[in-house]
């Protein structure tokens, strides 16, 4: 199994290109199920999660053509052969639960494995199911699978919490339902807005995406389209935090403040300089230790849970004490014990972590059980004394395209080694 070895070696300088957003791309791929004409996606990130979802879609009869070294995908769901999303794939990739809405929207029937919990929390799907029932589907849970069927009609749905996945699943189901659907307390994440934009390009009638109320008027059919995947705001935030930890100045190409405004606010409060450039966003460490800042995760436009681990890595080096509160997932501090092994001072009580900044960390062998936790250990390693060896690299391959190459491009001492 591969490992990544990081040696802290001082300030970073240069540019890092930001790839297309994983969490947008996966949902756009699912949306291809809604039409019998091809959906062509450009700026697709080359990630193992994209490959896993491709495998699932192909098992449903979707034909996928890959161009530009995998950065363009042409998905054709003209000849769907199945409406069964098997456990073997859904368990590997939770986002594959998002074939449910498009499948039932297109065929009136879907059987999709329940995803189960994962390392960061229980991650229930009750809002998805209640939403489909409100649209008139009959939903049965049998042998670990959701069996949903029915001729969908518009409805008023209010989510108890602005779930990203549920908003996206219900929006996709509603685009071909009869009549108007109103989704209240909808997720406002850029990924959800980007999915709506793609559906609109395919002929859907959607208003309000990006706000907490989305109105979908059902249409008879969707047509093909070509759509560009937006920049990955979590990859962007991760690489913005790299020079904040290691020092230096890095320009993230393709990034914009609107995607990460809550992170920019916190980084500026910590003393970092952030400038919007023509090509993206530049972060400059102005010297000395950054200041501690408190962070509470929240749905967009609040501070993203997917950047909490990286922010904790930064706070390990800050001057003072920071309180990080995780409000989205119940078990998302798995990086804390690993950072402590590198010399960090962190106390975790329930959903709160108290981080007292230290003068420096020391490299250590570490591993993590999810994508963002893993990358936070790489970031910490950039400024640690000595060698940090991160194992279980497959987590990183799920969400960071060419991580080693991008970090080496700004001068980091990082390499990937294979044990053969
Ligand atoms: C999406 O997950 C992202 N994944 C996650 O990215 C991200 O952390 C999360 O949104 C929050 O921003 C993808 O888009 C593929 P939710 P999702 O439904 O849709 C509870 C990463 O690292 N809930 O908004 O699964 C749920 O348990 C990841 O890239 C219910 O209770 O998130 C959680 O506590 C990991 N019932 C909260 O809501 C439901 O039916 C938010 O979940 C649905 C959700």
Residue that the structure tokens 């975790």 belong to? 348
Instruction: Give distance in angstroms: CA of 132 to centre of ligand 1.
Output: 18
Going by alpha carbons, the residue nearest to atom 21 of ligand 1 is 306
| Residue-by-residue pLDDT tens, the chain, 420 positions | 899 999 998 899 999 999 999 999 999 999 999 999 999 999 999 999 999 999 999 999 999 999 998 999 999 999 999 999 999 999 999 999 999 999 999 999 999 999 976 788 778 999 999 999 999 999 999 999 999 999 999 999 999 999 999 999 999 999 999 999 999 999 999 999 999 999 999 999 999 999 999 999 999 999 999 999 999 999 999 999 999 999 999 999 999 999 999 999 999 999 999 999 999 999 999 989 999 999 999 999 999 999 999 999 999 999 999 999 999 999 999 999 999 999 999 999 999 999 999 999 999 999 988 999 999 999 999 999 999 999 999 999 999 999 999 999 999 999 999 976
Instruction: Give distance in angstroms: CA of 162 to centre of ligand 1.
Output: 9
**Cα distance between residue 23 and residue 90, in whole Å:** 15
Name 221's Cβ contacts closer than 8 Å, sequence gap at least 6: 35, 36, 176, 203
User: Backbone phi, then psi, for 123, in 5-degree steps?
Assistant: 55, 65
Instruction: Give distance in angstroms: CA of 164 to centre of ligand 1.
Output: 6
**Cα distance between residue 407 and residue 238, in whole Å:** 11
Q: Is 394 near ligand 1, meaning CB less than 6 Å away?
A: no
**Cα distance between residue 132 and residue 45, in whole Å:** 30
Going by alpha carbons, the residue nearest to atom 14 of ligand 1 is 23
Q: Is 23 near ligand 1, meaning CB less than 6 Å away?
A: yes
Question: Closest ligand 1 atom, CA of 129?
Answer: 40
Going by alpha carbons, the residue nearest to atom 42 of ligand 1 is 163
**Cα distance between residue 153 and residue 179, in whole Å:** 6
**Cα distance between residue 321 and residue 319, in whole Å:** 7
User: Backbone phi, then psi, for 266, in 5-degree steps?
Assistant: -70, -40
Going by alpha carbons, the residue nearest to atom 9 of ligand 1 is 164
Name 358's Cβ contacts closer than 8 Å, sequence gap at least 6: 316, 317, 343, 344, 345
pLDDT value for 137: 98
What's the alpha-carbon Rg for the chain, to the nearest Å? Answer: 21
Residue that the structure tokens 């794939």 belong to? 89
Cβ(1)–Cβ(391) under 8 Å? yes
Residues with a catalytic annotation lie at 118
pTM of the model: 0.98
pLDDT value for 420: 66
Q: At what angle do helices 190-201 and 22-31 cross, to 10 degrees?
A: 30
Q: At what angle do helices 371-381 and 233-246 cross, to 10 degrees?
A: 20
User: Backbone phi, then psi, for 345, in 5-degree steps?
Assistant: -110, 100
Question: Closest ligand 1 atom, CA of 122?
Answer: 27
Instruction: Give distance in angstroms: CA of 217 to centre of ligand 1.
Output: 25
378 SS3 class: helix
Q: Is 238 near ligand 1, meaning CB less than 6 Å away?
A: no
**Cα distance between residue 141 and residue 82, in whole Å:** 19
30 SS3 class: helix
Output the six-digit token pair for 342.
């590198």
* Of 313, 324, 399, the residue nearest 8 (C-alpha): 313
> Which among 165, 236, 396, 399 is the best mutation to test ligand 1's pocket, defined by most ligand atoms within 8 Å of the CB?
165
Q: Which long-range contacts (CB under 8 A, 24 or more apart) does 356-359 make?
A: 356/320, 356/321, 357/289, 357/292, 357/315, 357/316, 357/317, 357/318, 357/319, 357/320, 357/321, 357/322, 358/316, 358/317
**Cα distance between residue 148 and residue 382, in whole Å:** 48
* Of 199, 194, 170, the residue nearest 184 (C-alpha): 170
Distance of alpha carbon 196 from the chain centroid: 17
Going by alpha carbons, the residue nearest to atom 24 of ligand 1 is 163
């Amino acid at each position: 199994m591969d490992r990544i070895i990081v040696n802290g070696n001082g300030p970073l300088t240069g540019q890092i290109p930001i790839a297309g957003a994983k969490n947008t791309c996966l949902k756009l791929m699912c949306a291809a199920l809604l039409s019998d004409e091809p959906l062509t996606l450009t700026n697709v990130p080359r990630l193992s999660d994209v490959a896993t979802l491709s495998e699932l879609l192909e098992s449903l009869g979707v034909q996928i053509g890959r161009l530009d070294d995998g950065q363009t995908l042409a998905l054709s769901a003209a000849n769907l052969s199945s409406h069964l999303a098997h456990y073997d794939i859904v368990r590997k990739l939770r986002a594959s639960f998002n074939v449910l809405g498009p499948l039932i929207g297109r065929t009136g029937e879907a059987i999709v494995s329940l995803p189960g919990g994962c390392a960061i929390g229980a991650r229930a799907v009750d809002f998805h199911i209640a939403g489909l029932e409100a649209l008139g589907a009959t939903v049965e849970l049998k042998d670990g699978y959701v069996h949903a069927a029915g001729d969908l009609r518009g409805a008023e749905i209010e989510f108890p919490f602005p779930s990203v996945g549920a908003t996206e699943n219900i929006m996709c189901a509603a685009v071909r339902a009869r009549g108007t659907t109103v989704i209240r307390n909808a997720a406002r994440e850029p990924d959800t807005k980007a999915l709506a934009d793609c559906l609109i390009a395919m002929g859907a009638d959607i208003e309000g995406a990006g706000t907490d109320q989305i109105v979908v008027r059902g249409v008879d059919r969707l047509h093909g389209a070509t759509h560009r995947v937006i920049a990955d705001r979590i990859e962007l935030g991760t690489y913005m935090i790299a020079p904040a930890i290691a020092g230096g100045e890095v320009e993230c190409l393709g990034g914009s403040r609107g995607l990460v405004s809550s992170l920019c606010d916190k980084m500026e409060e910590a003393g970092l300089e952030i400038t919007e450039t023509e090509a993206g966003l530049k972060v400059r460490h102005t010297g000395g230790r950054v200041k501690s800042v408190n962070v509470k995760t929240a749905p967009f436009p609040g501070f993203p849970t997917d950047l909490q681990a990286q922010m904790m890595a930064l706070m390990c080096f800050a001057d003072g004490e920071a309180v990080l509160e995780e409000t989205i997932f119940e078990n998302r501090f798995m990086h804390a014990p690993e950072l402590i092994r590198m010399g960090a001072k962190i106390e975790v009580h329930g959903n709160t972590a108290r981080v007292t900044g230290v003068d420096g960390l020391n490299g250590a062998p570490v591993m993590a059980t999810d994508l963002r936790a893993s990358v936070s250990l790489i970031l910490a390693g950039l400024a640690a004394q000595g060698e940090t060896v991160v194992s279980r690299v497959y987590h990183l391959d799920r969400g960071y395209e060419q991580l080693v190459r991008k970090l080496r491009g700004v001068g980091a001492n990082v390499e990937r080694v294979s044990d053969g």
